Amino acid sequence: MEGHHHRIGMLEIAEIYFNTSSENLKQLIEDFFNSMDEDHDKKVSLSEFLNNMKEEGLVKAENPPEMFKALDVNHDGSLDFKEVMALYYVIKSGRPFCGGCGKFIPGMFFSCSICFDNEDDKFCVCPKCFSNENKSYTHKHMPGHFLDNFALLEAKRKMAMDTRKPPPSPEEPKKKSTWLLRLLESAIGAAAVAGAEVAAVSGAAAAADLAAEGDSCSIM
């Protein structure tokens, strides 16, 4: 509708990737579809979907029927080629399942920045569970360490830029708070985290501690 921002869904994202990919990748996706279409009727039924999820371990799905429903955008009870193409995108892009409600997250999500860098499995939650109004999950790290997927991408980009900068001279004082904590100040709207200990952000995030005083951080 004119005047409204168009929301791009998984199917459209997958189609964009497909149309701009190499012929070899397009063939891989077609082979993927054909392997799921067991009766060769050019569509994937729920039973075929469940068989493949179980036998191939394609995704870490706690609720495969819920995922099937999310992929079936035309609600005809089966997955056509474009919808299976979206599934391929989901698998390859590592789209998460919510650590709270266990449902597949088709849109924006929040990730624990500490787990993202240092744990075997990242911890992500959907926006509803992140508010934790229904106490759907518990986690070892505080909510202040969570970033939405857009802010997390910007954080990783900024951190990579900071690690390429030369270290400050001995005369130049270092700011006590890490860059990631300062980003959290901006992204989440925390009033003051400057007194937080550097040890709160471990692993790769600790490299951002080299950022000089006066460095700005904004995700706007």
pLDDT digits (tens, 9 = 90+) for 114-173: 888 886 678 999 998 888 765 678 888 888 889 998 888 888 888 788 777 776 666 555
Structure tokens at 131: 């508010």
125 vs 63, higher pLDDT: 125
> Which pLDDT belongs to residue 171?
58
Identify the band that residue 28 occupies on the pLDDT scale cut at 50, 70 and 90: very high
pLDDT digits (tens, 9 = 90+) for 64-119: 787 888 889 899 999 999 999 998 888 888 788 888 888 888 788 999 988 888 86
| Full-model pTM | 0.59
CA 217/CA 215 separation, integer angstroms: 7
Domain residue ranges of the chain, discontinuous segments joined by +:
10-93, 110-210
CA 149/CA 177 separation, integer angstroms: 22
The CATH code of domain 10-93 reads 1.10.238.10
Please tell me the chain's helix, strand, coil percentages from 3-state DSSP, rounded to the nearest 5: 50, 5, 45
